[in-house]
């Protein structure tokens, strides 16, 4: 699913297993008008087109046991690299400030208006819509430039968050609203009428390349974020699944997952730790994480 693009238009690429979902969101309101005015290009890509088996498989069982299925790294890497380039070019594009590869994840950093402003200053945003229990950690570690959550709740997938981000970013593109002054006094707005894509609000440091999973990942019932997920293959482009998850020692797996969950929470959503009711073991692990960072 692809729409016409004008010279200098911002491009959105959405990677999903449900491409039909976006027929509605892309055809209404400001997004439709921005597309018709060729201010944006919106392209939706079926992840299953990047599989190589008869069943077009995009998921597999998690290493270390547990419920649900985990999205495989291979199809996601192939999909994004077909759009942006080889994996080194993907990282360079994100760090260079002209593109973002966004993994939608309940365990990510919170999407805020300042995030929308940063994305609006880019040439291209790729939105990865996760499903199932999560996305293989290697996608976030070696492919995504941003891991984004839209709130402290769990959805069935990243399609709704992707549509919301597309809308929030599009309305900040000059010309999308017609009257540029209309965004100045909106809630959460710190923009001036002179702010343009050529002079965006950009964070002082590059995007954080750490952490991952899909929007199906979750905040645990203890108030901290979910641990990383891995599925087959055990080795992907030289990046291996942690040995502890392949050893079959359930107690060691539990400890590893808990430490990783605490580390991800401290990195992405440290405010959650204040009300998490951490026990002595968790506090000891957190102290180790902070000291080693």
Q: What is the pLDDT along the chain (293 residues), one digit of tens a residue?
A: 543 344 579 999 999 999 999 999 999 999 999 999 999 999 999 999 999 999 999 999 999 999 899 999 999 999 999 999 865 545 544 445 699 999 999 899 999 999 999 999 999 999 999 999 999 999 999 999 999 999 999 899 999 999 999 999 999 999 999 765 555 545 555 544 344 444 443 333 333 323 333 344 455 545 899 999 999 999 999 999 999 999 999 999 999 999 999 999 999 999 999 888 899 999 999 999 999 98
Sign of CA dihedral 224, 225, 230, 235: negative
How many of the other CB atoms lie within 10 Å of CB of 22? 22
Domains, the chain, ordered by start = 10-222 (3.40.1280.10)
Our CA angle for 245, 247, 248, nearest 5°, is 90
Closest CA to 225 of 279, 273, 162, 158: 273
CB 1 within 8 A of CB 44: yes
Q: What is the pTM of this model?
A: 0.84
| Burial (CB count within 10 angstroms: exposed 0-12, middle 13-18, buried 19+), residue 93 | buried
Q: In 4-112, where does DSSP find H-type helix?
A: 29-36, 73-84, 87-96
């Amino acid at each position: 699913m692809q729409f016409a693009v004008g010279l200098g238009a911002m491009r959105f690429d959405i990677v999903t297993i449900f491409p039909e979902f976006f027929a509605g969101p892309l055809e209404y309101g400001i997004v439709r008008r921005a597309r018709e005015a060729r201010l944006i290009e919106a392209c939706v890509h079926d992840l299953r087109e990047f599989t190589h088996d008869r069943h077009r498989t995009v998921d597999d069982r998690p290493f270390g046991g547990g419920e649900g299925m985990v999205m495989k790294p291979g199809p996601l890497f192939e999909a994004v690299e077909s759009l942006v380039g080889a994996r080194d070019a993907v990282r360079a594009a994100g760090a260079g400030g002209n593109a973002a590869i966004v993994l939608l994840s309940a365990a990510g950093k919170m999407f805020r208006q300042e995030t929308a402003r940063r994305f609006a200053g880019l040439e291209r945003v790729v939105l990865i819509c996760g499903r199932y229990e999560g996305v293989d950690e290697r996608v976030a570690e070696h492919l995504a430039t941003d891991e984004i959550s839209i709130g402290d709740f769990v959805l069935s997938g990243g399609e709704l968050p992707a549509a919301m981000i597309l809308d929030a970013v599009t309305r900040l593109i000059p010309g999308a609203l017609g009257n540029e002054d209309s965004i100045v006094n909106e809630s959460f707005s710190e923009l001036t009428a002179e702010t343009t894509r050529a002079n965006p609000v950009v964070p002082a440091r590059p995007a954080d390349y750490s952490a991952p999973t899909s929007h199906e990942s979750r905040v645990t019932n203890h108030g901290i974020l979910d641990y990383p997920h891995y599925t087959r293959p055990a080795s992907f482009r030289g990046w291996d699944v942690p040995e502890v998850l392949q050893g079959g020692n359930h107690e060691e797996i539990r400890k590893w997952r808990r430490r990783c969950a605490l580390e991800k929470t401290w990195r992405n959503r440290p405010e959650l730790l204040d009300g998490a009711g951490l026990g002595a073991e968790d506090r000891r692990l957190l102290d180790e994480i902070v000291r080693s960072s």
